Chains A and B, each alone.
Chain A
Amino acid sequence: GAGVSQSPSNKVTEKGKDVELRCDPISGHTALYWYRQSLGQGLEFLIYFQGNSAPDKSGLPSDRFSAERTGGSVSTLTIQRTQQEDSAVYLCASSLQGAGETQYFGPGTRLLVL
């Protein structure tokens, strides 16, 4: 079946602009995660959605970052007033039920803030 998909694959924006990144998880997966990967670095957890529960936003680096998940499926990560340090690859992952399970990653969105 189809894997996790993300769009756009690349995004170039100017400092101060808002951006929206989209994630389509694997059908039937109730858990969805956003991670950030800076160049040559590891994966930094941002936010986690599980079913209808309140999301775990503990990894969001600032209030400029927000995310939502509509209808328990598609998720959008929004970065307001982008800064150059926001430049990174933003990866989405999904798993069947959540904690302690295999996470399947999307191809990522490469964000460049000029």
Chain B
Amino acid sequence: GENVEQHPSTLSVQEGDSAVIKCTYSDSASNYFPWYKQELGKRPQLIIDIRSNVGEKKDQRIAVTLNKTAKHFSLHITETQPEDSAVYFCAASRSSARQLTFGSGTQLTVLP
């Protein structure tokens, strides 16, 4: 089955700096890669996703890049703000799979 590794487990940045979280996956057939943000005590919410037919996707301050050859994908947050502080989870699945496989999460703290 799929295995997703996520790094780093914790990340602290100064407000206004960029943050990068990286994930690797094992199943070369995986083709869907979402990122979820989970604030303390809240439900995970999708912030961006990418499919294997593109290499990069942007949405305002958030971008995700995908390298299928190397089997890794990354989340980039620019101009970080304190409200970006949360746990971020990457995930991967193939279209025929029945569930997402999640990474272990990254606790991002944006220092004011």
A interface, CB within 8 angstroms of B? 33, 41-43, 45, 48, 50, 56, 59, 91, 98-108
Complexed CA–CA distance, A107 and B38 (Å): 11
Are the CB atoms of B98 and A108 closer together than 8 Å?
no
Are the CB atoms of A42 and B104 closer together than 8 Å?
yes
Which of A41, A48, A106 is in CB contact (< 8 Å) with B99?
A: A48
Are the CB atoms of A33 and B43 closer together than 8 Å?
no
Q: Which 9 A-B pairs have the closest CB atoms?
A: A100-B95, A105-B43, A100-B32, A42-B104, A43-B102, A56-B98, A45-B99, A48-B98, A105-B44
**Chain A residues in 8 Å Cβ range of B44:** 43, 91, 105
Are the CB atoms of B94 and A99 closer together than 8 Å?
yes
Main secondary structure of the interface of B (DSSP, over half): loop
Q: Give me 10 A-to-B residue pairs in the complex whose CB atoms sit less than 8 angstroms apart, sorted by A's number.
A: A33-B99, A41-B104, A43-B44, A45-B99, A56-B99, A91-B44, A99-B93, A99-B96, A99-B99, A106-B43
- Tally inter-chain residue pairs, CB-CB below 8 A: 55
Complexed CA–CA distance, A56 and B99 (Å): 9
B18: interface (CB < 8 Å): no
Which of A41, A48, A100, A106 is in CB contact (< 8 Å) with B94?
A: A100
**Chain A residues in 8 Å Cβ range of B105:** 41-42
Cβ-closest chain B residue relative to A34: B99
8 A Cβ contacts from B28-44 to A: 31-32, 34, 36, 42-44
Complexed CA–CA distance, A55 and B65 (Å): 33
Are the CB atoms of B103 and A42 closer together than 8 Å?
yes
Complexed CA–CA distance, A45 and B94 (Å): 15
